[in-house]
Amino acid sequence: MSVDPLEAVVARRGDEALETLAGLRATDPPTTGGRVLSYVYDSGVSALDDLAVRAAGLAHGVNGLDPTVFGSVARIHGGIVRRVRTILGGDSGGAGTDGNGGNGGNGGESDDDEVYGVVTSGGTESCVLASLAAREVSGRAPGSGGSIVAPVTAHAAFRKAAHVLGMRFVGVEVDPATGRAAAEDLLAAVDGDTCMVVCSAPSYPTGVIDPVEQVAAGLEARHDPRIGLHVDACLGGLVLPFWPGGVGEAWDLRVPRVTSISADLHKYGFAPKGTSVLLSRGRARHRASWFATVDWPGYPVVNPTLSGSKPLEPSAAAWAVLEALGDDGQRELVARTARATSRLVEGLSAIEGLKVVDSDPGPLIAVVADVSAGEDRVVHPHRWADECGRRGIAVQAQPAYRQQRGSLSSSSHLTITPVTERLTGEILGVARGAADAVRGMPAPAPPAEFADVLDALGSGALSPGDLLALPEDDVHELVAGVSSGASDETGGGMAPLLAAIERLPAEVGARLVRAYLAAVME
Ligand SMILES: *Cc1c(COP(=O)(O)O)cnc(C)c1O
């Protein structure tokens, strides 16, 4: 029995690679511990993280492309779908709790109201697939129109969906002070071209839960069942149902006119990245976003999601975490989240020059400048965010958003998770210190590299079209210096870049941030 010499070689090089990886990871912000208040959702229960890693290990190597070969895929995905469907009120109204969920249902009688589901790689994919299903159900071929009507505060994933699916995104303006969309404004935007209306529960930038029941009632009155009503609960789907005291009006599948809903396991399901669920009412809508073909010389292709080959690891981990937590565990984690949220809202509200935006119950906090404090006492939320970051607490800056009804203010965003409860005191200490450090400072200026461009745009010497026509290499030159961070007056923060985004036409801003990220990756 000879030992393959390659075994020893790859073991040695592999150890070196792991050491390098550990070194690289040490330079990242910590994904656990609660000091990063966006991107990561930390249960604070280390046994759950260990469990996720072990479950992923057991799923290693499986190709989720074909559940007829790898039966575990159907069982794991079905388990996730059934659990999330129950949490989101999809079992009532004739749907059997023993249905097969994502596996195709239990056959027999009419299943128009039965809720089916598919496990996707994340919220964006769930939103894109919901949009695709809406386009298909409405009978529109690619390139023949179809629009998605949504508050401007809906996640950018729907703009992306419209972009990749050849649909139109119709953004409905919100009240600039409250971030709230009125149901009548959303309904007024619905026309013969509309395939789908989107409500968020809640919206990521504002924490607002859109008026799902009112929109549902308005759509009901139109008598066109082909128009979808999608609830984007990517963020809220596994936290709002457990929020202490509830959140008020119904927003999930208990509202009969809701046709689909998305919920991310890799947010408040406390699973590693790579798992979300899209639930759809009725077999037709559920299957409308699948792709199938036998028109090629290879194996018959059936893809319920955008990928072909796909890992079982993330969904196996998500499933194991769901099983381990159960309703009681989930409720306890959400209760910790809710306590942390109210403590932080209270503490942040007391900081002079900052204002917490009033929102619905839920784990998101948006902070804006309190202009009533006066110019010399106001705290700019982006300067504050950068300063918090320098002090070890990462919050996320969000640019002002222009609309005709008046702009949504520059803000900073905090996502609160169960672990946050352990360090509300530390976070508030940093928040106060950071506010003291930047109070009375003027709004941040764009990076010096952009000064010429902004001047030229301002004077009309350059049009947005001229900028969009620039060769990619020129755009690269423009942002390369910025992404190196060398010129940043505030020492590595995001505030100057956001200041530039706020001043530029949106298409130009998009081109610059694309070049910025590309330069970082190059
Ligand atoms: C996170 C999020 C998404 C997109 O999810 P990804 O998993 O980042 O692709 C969509 N909608 C809302 C409300 C979200 O919070």
Cα(19) to centroid(ligand 1), Å: 32
pLDDT at 224: 92
200 lines ligand 1 (CB under 6 A): yes
pLDDT in tens, 217-238: 999 999 899 999 999 999 999 9
Dist. CA 261 → ligand 1 center (Å): 12
Please tell me if the CB atom of residue 123 comes closer than 6 angstroms to any atom of ligand 1: yes
Q: Name the residue of 38, 40, 124 whose CB sits within 8 Å of the most ligand 1 atoms, as the mutation to test its pocket.
A: 124
Give the per-residue pLDDT at 142: 85
Prediction pTM value: 0.94
Q: How far apart are CA 144 and CA 396, in angstroms?
A: 38
- Contact between 270 and 41 (Cβ < 8 Å): yes
Residue 145 Cα, ligand 1 centroid: separation in angstroms?
25
Give how far Cα 130 sits from Cα of 118, 157, 164, 237, 341, Å.
11, 11, 13, 15, 31
Is 230 near ligand 1, meaning CB less than 6 Å away? Answer: no
> What confidence score (pLDDT) does residue 100 get?
40
Q: Which two tokens stand for residue 348?
A: 């942040």
Nearest-angstrom CA–CA distance, 318 and 132: 25
Instruction: Residue 59: count other Cβ atoms within 10 Å of its Cβ.
Output: 22
- DSSP code for 400: -
> What is the pLDDT, as a whole number, of residue 110?
53
Instruction: Concatenate the DSSP letters of all residues of 206-269 into one string.
Output: T-PPP-HHHHHHHHHHHT-TTSEEEEE-TTTTTTGGG-TT--SS--STTSTT--EEEEETTSTT
Residue nearest to atom 5 of ligand 1 (CA): 123
Ligand 1 atom nearest to CA at 202:
13
List the pLDDT tens digit at each of the 522 positions of the chain: 688 999 999 999 999 999 999 999 999 999 999 999 999 999 999 999 999 999 999 999 999 999 999 999 999 999 999 999 999 999 965 444 343 443 333 434 455 889 999 999 999 999 999 999 999 999 998 888 899 999 999 999 999 999 999 999 999 999 999 999 999 999 999 999 999 999 999 999 999 999 999 999 999 999 899 999 999 999 999 999 999 999 999 999 999 999 999 999 999 999 999 999 999 999 999 999 999 999 999 999 999 999 999 999 999 999 999 999 999 999 999 999 999 999 999 999 999 999 999 889 999 999 999 999 999 999 999 999 999 999 999 999 999 999 999 999 999 999 999 999 999 999 999 999 999 999 999 999 999 888 888 999 989 999 999 989 999 999 998 888 776 654 444 456 899 999 999 999 999 999 999 998 998 888
| Two tokens, residue 364 | 């998101």
